[in-house]
Amino acid sequence: MASLLTQKSLVIGKLTKYVNDCAKRLSSHFIYYPDNEKPVSGETTKMNMMQAINNAMDITLRDDPTAVLFGEDVGFGGVFRCALGLQDKYGKDRVFNTPLCEQGIAGFGIGLATAGATAIAEIQFADYIFPAFDQLVNEAAKARYRSGGQFECGALTVRAPCGAVGHGGLYHSQSPEAYFAHTPGLRVVVPRGPIAAKGLLLACIRERDPCIFLEPKILYRSAAEEVPVEDYTLPLGKAQLLREGTSATLVGWGTQVHVLLEVAQMAEDQLGLTVDVIDLQSILPWDEDTVCNSVKKTGRCLIAHEAPLTCGFGAELAATVQVYTYLTCSTNNRTQLSQRSNNIKMEECFLHLEAPVSRVAGWDAPFPHVFEPFYLPDRWRCFAQLNKLLHY
Amino acid sequence: MALRAGVTFVKLNSLRQATRLLSTHTRPDVCQNGGTSEFPGAKAPYVNEIKFLNENSYDPIPIYRVMDSNGRIIDSREEPNIDKESLINMYRNMIQLNQMDKILYESQRQGRISFYMTNYGEEGIHMGSAAALSPRDLVFAQYREVGVLLHRGITVSELVNQCYGNCEDPGKGRQMPVHYGSKQHNIVTISSPLATQLPQAVGAAYALKRMPNNDRCVICYFGEGAASEGDAHAAFNFAATLDCPIILMCRNNGYAISTPSSEQYRGDGIAARGPAFGLHTIRVDGTDTLAVYRAVASARDLAVSNKPVLIEAMSYRVGHHSTSDDSSAYRSVEEIQKWAKDESPVQKLRLYLEGKGYWDAEAETQCVKEARDTVVRAMQDAEKKKLPHWKEMLEDVYYDMPPKLQKQMKQMEKHLEKYQEHYPLNKYLNE
């Protein structure tokens, strides 16, 4: 037993080092811009994103007796330590390992939610979520619709570490959000840092739709902020305007937001121009109003994401920006059929565009190992594209 | 280059030999621990000869029976204690199911509904299992388990409304026929992707287990074809490792559409997989309603004490796979006839009831007539009802309708204002 424990702690030590190294090795890819605004007042404590996620799950397990947390290696805290200490605190029947089987994890989570429990499932890497694709796309997303509202699995949240990490190669770097964005019934959310992660994860867990929460793994330890200690949520389906300007609109999510914030600073320093930077946060359903209002103001739009270009979520954003129609009222939650859709005013974004909508993304290749610096849509590729856009 | 590497290798090797010879160190013997291994992955003894195991290494798992083919009890100690009223109710539901299958199958042939799947030959599995469960137990079904729904008290009208997808269908006409579901009767809505319900059922069982003073379990039905899906593997393994109160009920009817079970697996059916996963397992004669009842009742006792159970109910799919299939293309009529007549679960239960003096030819005629009338009436009613409002097409995708979907609804509304004559709007509810 004792030797088992030493072994375990050795493994933990190695993992911790691995994650730290990852963050260090690619420190040149982006500079972290911490959130300065707090969503709620009150006591704060310094947390990195891993700790903020742990804190959100801790609050959930504390306040919701039906909530369970499960996945591969979750019992000892998870390979990224997000579940650290939770099994000791809440017991083995609430925080537990499953067999190594992603379709099983997703199906099991759907079942838990169907029977009235709050299910937080962890897929170890987003790259390994594809065996669960059928369960998430055919089952979770369609459960309420196909049963006429009799059954649903809205209490399911699937967490998965995503995105580039410096040397993750093909299967520890992917950003699969666009695959899920084509699935009505799912919510897909990506946070950019600890404050957002806590608020959005708590919102996902409580939301009455199944949510896929993609956590940019490079931020787990490299990002640290003063996070409010108390319980708070951030709205799903809402983007956040992080920096205001007049010359262009930059849209991204996850780690890429920090790249874009730096590009905005570069534009100001080197070109003397200011731009809007928007963190989309919710990939599906996404906040058309915030993005399109900004583009109407600036007349130029640049979208950046790590995932490959073709059919990446940027394509949906670019297409929508050009045919956008404005909705004056979007607050009729679960109202009668007859009352729906009476408050819509049409207004097009197309006439406000000064240049074609531009996308900077990963190349249409699998995510490579040694070529990562050339693959990512880094600050220089984004800046170059912004330059072209401004001089169009 | 290669040569040089070879020379270095030889040199190194001879050096190693020399070191070993010079060494004075002697290693103490490792304790043999009485011939048992200490690998964490298995509790097993060592052997000293090579012996591969295969599908013939174990006897086939026997098929549990209570009645013979003439409805006679084989061992009176095994006869379940079911009261007369319940037995008759089980049998009447079988007749009802047969009549509904017959008429709805025909109505599909006439183009009145788009699709149908019958339950012929598997009525015993439905009635035997449903009767052995509590109505509060949660059911996850594949699609060929309508008897379970009838036993739970879902009316023929409700089933027919689903097949027509009319405004009375709780599923709001969104799914194909036979994709039933009822929250009120604890029957989770059926979906087409095979075996997906299996790990879900296990998760639901885990949720029940965690409820205070749980006395409920989950039953999950699936065919032997679905058992080849990865999700079945996931479910068996999760059910066992997480100690879930679940009965995994396999209907092995010999075919998955045209694929015979000989092309589905090479082992001893589905049951042989149970012990390999650490599941309590039994194989039962699915044409023997009483044997299914006994097996499920005992399985339920195990399940509610958090010991998952696998039951393989052997049967034969007497009907075509669905209305889109002609099974004579891949099996003989003689084979079907044998199972339709001599080994029919309906006939076996009738003979048993007649032997007890609970049933006779007159009751049979009366029951068949009532059952047929019920279905015909339900269909006449269902056909008169309008389909749901077209806007139901966009409801229930999310709990709250997202702005984009609201816009799409508005778009369609505007489109219909202008082009309504090109759409069958008069068939649908209008506000």
pLDDT tens digits, B386-401: 999 999 999 999 999 9
Lowest pLDDT segment from A207-211, A288-292, B237-241: A288-292
pLDDT at A37: 87
**Cis peptide, bond prior to residue A285, ω within 30 of zero:** yes
Residue A168 has pLDDT above 60, yes or no: yes
CB nearest to B196's CB, from A99, A112, A134: A134
The rounded radius of gyration (Å) of the Cα atoms in chain B is 29
pLDDT at B360: 97
**Mean per-residue pLDDT, B308-328:** 95
Q: Is A131 on the interface with B (CB under 8 A)?
A: yes
Write out residues 347-386 of A within 8 Å (CB-CB) of B. none
Q: Considering chain A, what percentage of its residues have pLDDT values greater than 90?
A: 84
Alpha-carbon dihedral B155, B202, B211, A72, rounded to 10 degrees? -150
The rounded distance, in Å, linking the Cα atoms of A329 and A200 is 23
Tell me the β-bridge partners of A308: A362
Q: What is the band of B295 on the pLDDT scale with cuts at 50, 70, 90? A: very high
Q: Considering chain A, what percentage of its residues have pLDDT values greater than 70?
A: 87
Determine the distance from the C-alpha atom of residue A105 to the mean position of all C-alpha atoms in its chain, rounded to a whole number: 20
Residue A166 has pLDDT above 70, yes or no: yes
Lowest pLDDT segment from A146-160, A188-202, B22-36, B258-272: B22-36
Chain A CA closest to residue B430: A338
Among A29, A122, A152, A172, the active-site one is A172
**Span A59-68, pLDDT tens digits:** 999 999 999 9
- Phi and psi dihedrals of A212, rounded to 5? -110, 120
Residue A86 has pLDDT above 70, yes or no: yes
CB contact under 8 A, B210 and A146: no
Write out residues 11-30 of A within 8 Å (CB-CB) of B. none
Asked if A250 contacts A259 with a C-beta cutoff of 8 angstroms, the reply is no
Contacts of B244 in chain A (CB under 8 A): none
Q: What is the band of A1 on the pLDDT scale with cuts at 50, 70, 90? A: very low
Chain B CA closest to residue A288: B404
* Size (chain B), residues: 431
CB nearest to B171's CB, from A110, A148, A185: A148
Residue A8 has pLDDT above 90, yes or no: no
Q: Is B183 on the interface with A (CB under 8 A)?
A: yes
Contacts of A92 in chain B (CB under 8 A): none
Nearest alpha-carbon partner for B288 in B106, B125, B58:
B125
Alpha-carbon dihedral A97, A68, A20, A241, rounded to 10 degrees? 150
Lowest pLDDT segment from A46-50, A329-333, B347-351: A329-333
CB nearest to A98's CB, from B200, B238, B413: B238
CB contact under 8 A, B203 and A115: yes
Encoding tokens for residue B7? 């020379």
pLDDT at B27: 78
**Mean per-residue pLDDT, A252-273:** 98
All structural domains of chain B with their residue ranges: 2-57, 76-384, 390-427
Asked if B197 contacts B222 with a C-beta cutoff of 8 angstroms, the reply is yes
CB contact under 8 A, B409 and A341: yes
Residue A17 has pLDDT above 70, yes or no: no
Interface A-B: count of C-beta contacts within 8 A: 192
CB contact under 8 A, A285 and B230: no
Q: Is A107 on the interface with B (CB under 8 A)?
A: yes
Tell me the β-bridge partners of A304: A360
**Span A299-316, pLDDT tens digits:** 999 999 999 999 999 999
**Residue B286 Ramachandran class (φ > 0 left, ψ -120 to 50 alpha, else beta):** alpha
pLDDT at B414: 93
Q: Is A235 on the interface with B (CB under 8 A)?
A: no
Lowest pLDDT segment from A13-17, A145-149, B201-205, B336-340: A13-17
CA A102, A1, A124: angle at the middle one, nearest 5? Answer: 15
Q: What's the ipTM?
A: 0.92
**Mean per-residue pLDDT, B71-76:** 97
CB nearest to A103's CB, from B201, B205, B231: B231
CB contact under 8 A, A99 and B237: yes
Note the CATH number of domain B76-384: 3.40.50.970
**Span B95-145, pLDDT tens digits:** 999 999 999 999 999 999 999 999 999 999 999 999 999 999 999 999 999
CB contact under 8 A, A103 and B235: no
Could you tell me the CA-to-CA distances from B48 to A51, B35, B42, B45, B51 in Å, in that order? 52, 11, 17, 10, 9
Q: Is B188 on the interface with A (CB under 8 A)?
A: yes
Closest CA of chain B from A108, distance in Å: 4
The rounded distance, in Å, linking the Cα atoms of B199 and B236 is 8
CB nearest to B410's CB, from A135, A208, A341: A341
Q: What is the band of A330 on the pLDDT scale with cuts at 50, 70, 90? A: very low
Contacts of B140 in chain A (CB under 8 A): 111
Closest CA of chain A from B261, distance in Å: 25
Closest CA of chain A from B71, distance in Å: 39
Q: What is the band of B20 on the pLDDT scale with cuts at 50, 70, 90? A: low
Residue B19 has pLDDT above 70, yes or no: no
Encoding tokens for residue B106? 């025909």
Contacts of A103 in chain B (CB under 8 A): 199, 230-231, 234
**Mean per-residue pLDDT, A231-236:** 98
CA A35, A38, A44: angle at the middle one, nearest 5? Answer: 100
Q: Is A285 on the interface with B (CB under 8 A)?
A: yes
**Span B194-230, pLDDT tens digits:** 999 999 999 999 999 999 999 999 999 999 999 999 9
**Span A119-158, pLDDT tens digits:** 999 999 999 999 999 999 999 999 999 999 999 999 999 9
Contacts of A116 in chain B (CB under 8 A): 207
Q: What is the band of B166 on the pLDDT scale with cuts at 50, 70, 90? A: very high
User: Which of A105, A150, A284, A333 is the best mutation test for B, with the most CBs of B within 10 A?
Assistant: A150
List Cβ neighbours of B168 (8 Å cut-off, separation of 6 or more): B157, B158, B161, B382, B385
Q: How far from each other are the two terminal CA atoms of chain B, in whole angstroms? A: 86
Encoding tokens for residue B209? 């287990």
CB nearest to B189's CB, from A151, A327, A338: A151
Determine the distance from the C-alpha atom of residue B258 to the mean position of all C-alpha atoms in its chain, rounded to a whole number: 18
pLDDT at A329: 46
Residue A347 has pLDDT above 80, yes or no: no
Asked if A248 contacts A390 with a C-beta cutoff of 8 angstroms, the reply is yes
Nearest alpha-carbon partner for A168 in A124, A204, A135, A208:
A124
pLDDT at B199: 98
User: What is the set of active-site residues of B?
Assistant: 106, 192, 321-322
Secondary structure percentages of chain B, helix, strand, coil, to 5: 50, 10, 40
List Cβ neighbours of A166 (8 Å cut-off, separation of 6 or more): A21, A22, A23, A25, A26, A29, A218, A372
Give this prediction's pTM. 0.92
Q: Is B406 on the interface with A (CB under 8 A)?
A: yes
Residue A117 has pLDDT above 90, yes or no: yes
CB contact under 8 A, A104 and B238: yes
Closest CA of chain B from A350, distance in Å: 18
Q: Is A7 on the interface with B (CB under 8 A)?
A: no
HEC readout, A16-64: HHHHHHHHHHCCCCCCCCCCCCCCCCCCEEEEEHHHHHHHHHHHHHHHC
* Size (chain A), residues: 392
pLDDT at B23: 60
Write out residues 58-77 of A within 8 Å (CB-CB) of B. 66, 68
Q: What is the band of A9 on the pLDDT scale with cuts at 50, 70, 90? A: low
Contacts of B237 in chain A (CB under 8 A): 99, 101, 104
The rounded distance, in Å, linking the Cα atoms of B251 and B285 is 10
SS3 call for B126:
helix
A102 is catalytic: yes
Chain A CA closest to residue B232: A104
Closest CA of chain A from B415, distance in Å: 13
- Phi and psi dihedrals of A378, rounded to 5? -75, 180
CB contact under 8 A, A107 and B183: no
Closest CA of chain A from B119, distance in Å: 22
Contacts of A150 in chain B (CB under 8 A): 170-171, 181-183, 189
Task: Give burial (CB, 10 Å; 0-12/13-18/19+) of B34.
Answer: exposed
